[in-house]
C-alpha cells in the first residue's frame, strides 16, 4: 500500500523541524527525523571508538542501530540508543557535524535507506531531511525545500541551543553552518539539493505561521477531511 508522504528538505536551521512537526500534527501523520539517524550513527560509532571515516565499520553500526523513538503523552519524543536516553546528546552542534561526516559515506546512506522508508505507514508521513524528496521518498506526494540565509539560520540555531541550556557562539555557528552546508551539498551520494519537482520556500524573513500556511496550501487534498 502506498501512503501519502510529504518531504521537507533543506539545510540546517531553516525551520524544517518546526514546519514538519506542524504538518505532521495537522494531518495526524507519522514523522521521520532522518537527521537523527545520522546523528545516532555518529554517536554510536564514537562510543565504540570507531573512526568516522571508516566506511565499513560505520555502515555496520548504522545497519545494527538499536534505536527507539519514544513518544510521550505531551508529544515529546525521547530517543533511546541501546536503552539509554541520548535525546540531548545528539542535539549539540558537534553531533550535527559528526552526523554530516558519516552522511558522506555511501554505505552508511545505503544502510539507513530501508529503515527510513519503513516510517511510511498509514495514514501518512512527513519526512524531514536532506534527500527525502530526491532519494528516500522520490515518489512523495508533496516535496518542499526550505531555504534561508546562513546568518538567519545561525541566529535561529543560537536561540534554540540557548533555550535548551546548551553552549553556543554565534560567529562560530555561522562558520560551522557554512562548512556543514558545503559538505552536505558537495558529497557524491544524495547531496543536499531540491528535487526537480520540489517547491522551494524561503523562510528568511517570514514567521513560522506564514511559512506553515504556505506549506499547507501546497498539501491540499493530501489527506481526506483536512
Ligand atoms: O537535520 P540534521 O541537522 O539533524 O542533520 C544532521 C546531518 O545529517 C546533516 O548535516 C547531514 C546529515 N543528513 C543527511 O545527510 N541526510 C538526511 N536525510 C538527514 C541528515
Q: How far is the CA of 7 from the centre of ligand 1 (A)?
A: 14
DSSP string, the chain: ----EEEEE-STTSSHHHHHHHHHHHHT-EEEEHHHHHHHHHHHHHHTT--TT-HHHHHHHHHT--EEEEE-TTS-EEEEETTEE-TTGGGSHHHHHHHHHHTT-HHHHHHHHHHHHTT--TT-EEEEESSIIIIITTT-SEEEEEE--HHHHHHHHHHHHHHTT----HHHHHHHHHHHHHHHHH-SSS-S---TTPEEEE-TT--HHHHHHHHHHHTTTSSTT-
pLDDT computed for residue 1 by the predictor: 59
Task: Please give the biggest Cα pair distance in the chain.
Answer: 50
Dig out the grid coordinates for 155 from the structure: 541566529
Task: Check pocket membership of 103 for ligand 1, CB cut-off 6 A.
Answer: yes
Task: Check pocket membership of 116 for ligand 1, CB cut-off 6 A.
Answer: no
Task: Report the C-alpha gap between 39 and 136 in whole angstroms.
Answer: 17
The best mutation among 129, 131, 137, 187 to test binding of ligand 1, ranked by most ligand atoms within 8 Å of the C-beta, falls on 129
65 closest CA partner among 88, 38, 85 = 38
Kindly list the domain boundaries of the chain, sorted by start residue: 5-218
User: Whose CA is closest to atom 2 on ligand 1?
Assistant: 35
pTM of the predicted protein model: 0.93
Q: Which atom of ligand 1 is nearest to the CA of 38?
A: 8
Task: Report the C-alpha gap between 60 and 220 in whole angstroms.
Answer: 40
Q: What class has domain 5-218?
A: alpha beta
Per-residue pLDDT of the chain in tens (226 residues, 90 and over written 9): 589 999 999 998 899 999 999 999 999 999 999 999 999 999 999 999 999 999 999 999 999 999 999 988 777 889 999 999 999 999 988 999 999 999 999 999 999 999 999 999 999 999 999 999 999 999 999 999 999 998 999 998 899 889 988 888 999 999 988 998 999 999 999 999 999 999 999 999 899 999 999 999 999 989 888 8
Task: Check pocket membership of 10 for ligand 1, CB cut-off 6 A.
Answer: no
Task: Check pocket membership of 99 for ligand 1, CB cut-off 6 A.
Answer: yes
pLDDT computed for residue 129 by the predictor: 97
pLDDT computed for residue 153 by the predictor: 92
Dig out the grid coordinates for 165 from the structure: 541550556
Task: Report the C-alpha gap between 226 and 214 in whole angstroms.
Answer: 15
Amino acid at each position: 500500500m502506498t501512503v501519502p508522504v510529504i518531504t521537507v528538505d533543506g539545510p540546517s536551521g531553516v525551520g524544517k523541524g518546526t514546519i514538519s512537526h506542524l504538518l505532521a500534527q495537522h494531518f495526524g501523520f507519522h514523522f521521520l527525523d532522518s537527521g537523527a539517524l545520522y546523528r545516532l550513527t555518529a554517536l554510536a560509532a564514537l562510543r565504540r571508538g570507531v573512526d568516522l571515516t571508516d566506511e565499513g565499520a560505520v555502515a555496520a553500526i548504522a545497519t545494527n542501530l538499536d534505536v527507539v523513538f519514544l513518544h510521550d503523552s505531551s508529544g515529546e519524543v525521547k530517543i533511546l540508543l541501546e536503552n539509554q536516553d541520548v535525546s540531548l546528546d545528539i542535539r549539540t552542534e558537534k553531533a550535527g557535524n559528526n552526523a554530516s561526516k558519516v552522511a558522506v559515506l555511501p554505505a552508511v546512506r545505503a544502510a539507513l535507506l530501508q529503515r527510513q522508508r519503513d516510517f511510511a505507514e498509514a495514514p501518512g508521513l512527513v519526512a524531514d531531511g536532506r534527500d527525502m524528496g530526491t532519494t528516500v521518498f522520490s515518489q512523495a506526494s508533496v516535496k518542499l525545500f526550505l531555504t534561508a540565509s546562513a546568518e538567519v539560520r545561525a541566529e535561529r540555531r543560537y536561540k534554540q541551543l540557548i533555550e535548551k541550556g546548551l553552549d553556543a557562539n554565534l560567529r562560530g555557528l555561522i562558520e560551522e553552518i557554512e562548512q556543514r552546508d558545503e559538505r552536505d551539498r558537495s558529497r557524491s551520494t544524495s547531496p543536499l539539493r531540491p528535487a526537480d519537482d520540489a517547491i522551494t520556500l524561503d523562510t528568511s524573513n517570514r514567521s513560522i505561521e506564514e511559512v506553515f500556511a504556505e506549506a499547507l496550501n501546497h498539501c491540499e487534498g493530501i489527506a481526506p477531511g483536512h
